[in-house]
Amino acid sequence: MAKHKNLQKEQKSISKWIYGLGLLRIFLVLVPQTGYVHPDEYFQSLEVLAGKVFDVEYSPPWEFNTTQPIRGITIPYFTTGLSYIFLRDIRNLALEYLSVNVVTPYFLLVVPRLLVTVFSFIVDYCLMKICINNNEKFESRLIILGTSYIMLLYGTRTFSNTTELILFSVLLYFVCESQTFSNELLRKEEYIKYRYDKSNSIVEKAKFHKLKLYLVPDNYRNCVIIANITIFGAFNRPTFLIYAVMPVFFWIYRGTAHKRVSVIQFHTRILFLAICSIPSIIFNIIIDSFFYGYLTWGEIGMLEVSMDNFVVTPLNFIRYNSQTSNLARHGLHPRFLHLLVNIPLLFNIIGVIALFTLLKYIYWICQKKFQMLPSIRSIKLLMTTSFIVPVFILSIFPHQESRFLIPILLPLVYLHSESILPEPDNILVQVPRGSIEEKRKHTVVKKTSKAFKMYLFFNFILLGVLGFLHQGGVYEALNYLHKDMKFASRNTEFHILTSYMYSMPHSFLLQKSPDKVFSNNKVKYAVKKRVFLYEMGFQEFDPVVEELKTIITAKEILERNINHKTNYKIYIFIPYSKIQEAFTAFFKHRIDARLIDKLWPHFTTESIPDLAHAFFYPSQLDQAAGFDYLTKLCEVFELYLYELSFNNHTKILIKERFLEY
């Protein structure tokens, strides 16, 4: 009785953990997370679709060029695009009835992330259903999944890798469901055959023959869903085919080991899978062709459609990434990076356990202990190969980023969660008091408890660094600039320099596109470009500042000649580590810099500041000394915003040079 009560308490505690982690995922989206992990989270969906939906100035990345596009637009449009269309309609209603504009950088960021977060719970659901269908406990696995910073960070952001994770989880669920159903059907068939062979009378044989006829066939079970998921995943990221190869193989291979499936049936499964994928392929190609301008309604109406009117983005993606020279533009890495660095970095303790398990399997194979390996019919082997095969295939390519491995999260959690957080009813096993088994079990529980605490520690540290600190000032910079531009006059030009910062999404500044024609009360008008971004990246300050001075002064001279006046605001965003270098350039070029704001938190790994003083706490622990110490420590993680102005002497020198030219 006491044991039953303890088990109920444990289960209630676990349920609180699961629901709490779900709420935490949503809360972190609404805060919002200010960290900027990689430009792809903005530029592969938000930037492109915000520009299209809101008619604002935007800067689409090279992947979306019309000559050879490599990114499919179907999934981004039906997720981010629809969320922005919803936000646009809400803005119209809010302006009409409340006089409030809800289209701000905050909502441009949060609304698509909120939708992605809702979809991310599909991963949790798939993991739970896979465990239930396989008669396994799922509570601990859900806790390990929910506390992973991959779900709390990447799972709430608009990465194509996040969509890949969700689709891969759904694919694994339907393949596991098909495999479980086939295994159950096999057991039923074997039982009926056994009873049929043992039957002595014709009546009994007829009864079991009828029972066999009532069995639901499994030959093409979930075929349509699996085919469509694979195709949509490939158009989202062609690397999805690498992840899908083992689940699809297991789905096709079901039953062949026991001769339930003939050679003809095996090949017809492949054929049906290919046929079922055709509608999805056509749908994605048509959507991409319309988006990139290859196909128009006018050409369809005039029946002037040929093969040149269609674009297949996955093929362009494969062509581009098959050339090492192209990959070199994005950085080349050693081929062991995924295996030895990215897996421990992404999955920490679970990743390390997975690698040791892999070594153990290799040892058993070398020792020819094949009976120790998972069975071909088991979900465990499906999950193991769904982890191993994609990692080894992706390791062939020399460009290796850690986020490329995000989809293997579900297989790793399924396989190795109990190594760090066993299920409660697996722990509460009654053994004789004071026995060796009891002491051993207590040691195991203690070790798993420590492992779980370490797992939590590493995940929340990474969540804090990547989710809030890394490039966190970019979002705050967008907020500041948006407000400043909103209240500035229309004849004010903004020239913005950024140093050692990731690219700013132009659309978040919400400036009307100069390439569009707008109408107001049947009056058509165009707007002048008023925002100019100078992304210095890792360049030296001198040439960029010199070029900017020349541009501004030349504009002022030209405007005086045509009797036109424009106001200029010149801003520069500098991380703490580059302030000294920037002021050296300002002094050299006689530029005045006025501090406007300090944006916190902000940290860039491309220019790590000097943290020496952070490790020397003041010896005298008075309140003033402690406050000064914390202030200096916070300054290290700040992004500084300065407004620049040229003094008259600088303008005269440039004017003379300009007139001479």
- Residue-wise pLDDT for 451-491, tens only, equals 899 999 999 999 999 999 999 999 999 999 999 999 888 88
Q: What pLDDT, on the 0 to 100 scale, is given for residue 655?
A: 44
CA 238 – CA 320 distance, rounded (Å): 12
d(CA 146, CA 17): 9
Residue 659: pLDDT band with limits 50, 70, 90: very low
Q: By the 8 A CB rule, do 435 and 196 touch? A: no
Q: What is the pTM of this model?
A: 0.91
| pLDDT score at 82 | 94
Report, as an integer, the average pLDDT of 206-226.
85
- The number of angstroms, rounded, from the C-alpha of 522 to the middle of its chain's C-alpha atoms is 43
E strands within 454-501? 492-499
Q: Between these two residues, 209 and 3, which has the higher pLDDT value? A: 209
pLDDT of residue 617: 52
Tokens for 111? 């609304």
pLDDT score, position 3: 53
Instruction: Categorize the per-residue pLDDT at 661 as very low, low, confident or very high, splitting at 50, 70 and 90.
Output: very low
pLDDT above 50: residue 179: yes
pLDDT at res. 430: 47
Instruction: Select the more confidently predicted residue: 497 or 232.
Output: 232
User: Over 70: is that where the pLDDT of 42 sits?
Assistant: yes
Min mean pLDDT across 205-214, 266-275, 627-636 is at: 627-636
Calculate Rg over the CA atoms of the chain.
30
Q: Say if residues 597 and 641 touch (Cβ distance below 8 Å).
A: yes
3-state secondary structure 409-453: HHHHHHHHHHHCCCCHHHHCCCCCCCCHHHHHHHHHHHHHHHHHH
- Mean pLDDT for 379-400 is 94
C-alpha–C-alpha distance, residues 661 and 657, integer Å: 6
**pLDDT tens digits for range 569-621:** 989 999 988 888 888 888 888 888 899 999 989 988 877 776 665 555 555 55
Residue type at 179? Answer: Q
Tell me how far apart the alpha carbons of residues 123 and 299 are, in angstroms, rounded to a whole number: 42
pLDDT at 18 over 90: no
The model's confidence at residue 537, banded by pLDDT at 50, 70 and 90, is: confident
> With 90 as the cut, is the pLDDT of residue 437 above it?
no
Which band of pLDDT confidence, cut at 50, 70 and 90, is reported for residue 433? low
Q: Mean pLDDT across the stretch 137-152?
A: 93
Q: What is the pLDDT of residue 424?
A: 65
The order of strands in the sheet holding 567-575 is 531-537, 492-499, 567-575, 639-646, 591-599
Contact 459, 349 (CB under 8 A): no
Type of residue numbered 632: K
Percent of the residues in the chain that have a pLDDT greater than 90, as a whole number: 50
Instruction: Please tell me which residue, 12 or 513, carries the higher pLDDT value.
Output: 513
* pLDDT, tens digit, 9 for 90 and up, residues 394-412: 999 999 999 999 999 999 9
Give the whole-angstrom CA distance, residue 434 versus residue 280. Answer: 63
Structure confidence by residue, pLDDT tens digits, 243-260: 999 999 999 988 776 666
Residue where the block lists tokens 């944006």: 599
| Cβ atoms of 43 and 157 closer than 8 Å | no
Count the Cβ atoms, other than its own, within 10 Å of residue 204: 13
**Residue 608 φ/ψ region, left for φ over 0, alpha for ψ in the -120 to 50 degree band, beta for the rest:** beta
Res. 70 pLDDT band, cuts 50 70 90: very high
Q: How far apart are CA 562 and CA 318, in angstroms?
A: 52
pLDDT of residue 234: 96
pLDDT score at 654: 42
165 vs 563, more confident:
165
| CB 540 within 8 Å of CB 572 | no
pLDDT at 656: 45
Report how far residue 61's alpha carbon sits from residue 44's, in angstroms, rounded to the nearest whole number: 7
Cα angle 126-70-329, degrees, rounded to a multiple of 5 = 105
Give the mean model confidence (pLDDT) for residues 155-160. 95
The answer to whether 497 and 534 are in contact (CB under 8 A) is yes
Contact 528, 543 (CB under 8 A): no
* Listed range (75-89, 288-302, 617-631) with the worst mean pLDDT: 617-631
The dihedral over CA atoms of 143, 160, 510, 103, expressed in degrees to the nearest 10, equals: -40
Residue 220 has pLDDT above 60, yes or no: yes
Beta strand segments in 500-579, E: 518-520, 523-525, 531-537, 567-575
Q: Per-residue pLDDT for 660 more than 50?
A: no
**Dihedral of CA 512/516/517/520: which sign?**
negative
The overall average pLDDT reported for the chain is 86
Give the pair of three-digit tokens for residue 246.
């083992």
Whether residue 390 is preceded by a cis peptide bond, meaning omega within 30 degrees of 0, is: no
Q: Is the pLDDT of residue 432 over 70?
A: no
* For residues 505-509, average pLDDT: 94
